[in-house]
Amino acid sequence: MSQVLSAAAPRERNVPDLVVTVVGLVVTALLGAAASVLGLMLVMASDSCGASSECDTNLIGIGVLLAVVAPWVCWVPALIVVIVRQTRRRLTWWVPIAGGLAYVPLVVVAVLVINAGVDATG
């Protein structure tokens, strides 16, 4: 029983997919940087804390940290998936979009944690 193993022809690089993916990664990186800066602004939720009310500053800090780090927790894995899929010559245009959408639930959790810290003893 003799079998002839033929090497599969390598797939051609999909240039439009590569261009859209790179543009998507750059846009999501810029949006991630802006989201991190805006995440720092969430610390202003603690403005109501002080003499009239007490807040859990640890919860507020955790929420702000989550809001600042979350874009990069989503972007770096998206970049890794893009690199792996591009080396295998698979479609990657959707990966930056999925990475950007993955940030939304994380920022919602961050806002809820900050809100819980502000309303801790209120």
- Domain boundaries of the chain, sorted by first residue: 15-118
CB 78 within 8 A of CB 22: no
Kindly report the CA angle at 106 between 104 and 112, in degrees rounded to 5? 105
pLDDT band per the 50, 70, 90 thresholds, residue 45 = confident
pLDDT of residue 119: 75
pLDDT of residue 41: 93
- pTM comes to 0.81
Q: Give pLDDT tens digits for 4-29.
A: 655 666 678 889 999 999 999 999 99
pLDDT band per the 50, 70, 90 thresholds, residue 102 = very high
Cα gap 78→117, rounded to integer Å: 31
pLDDT (mean) for 71-80 = 95
Q: Which tokens go with 77?
A: 């894995």
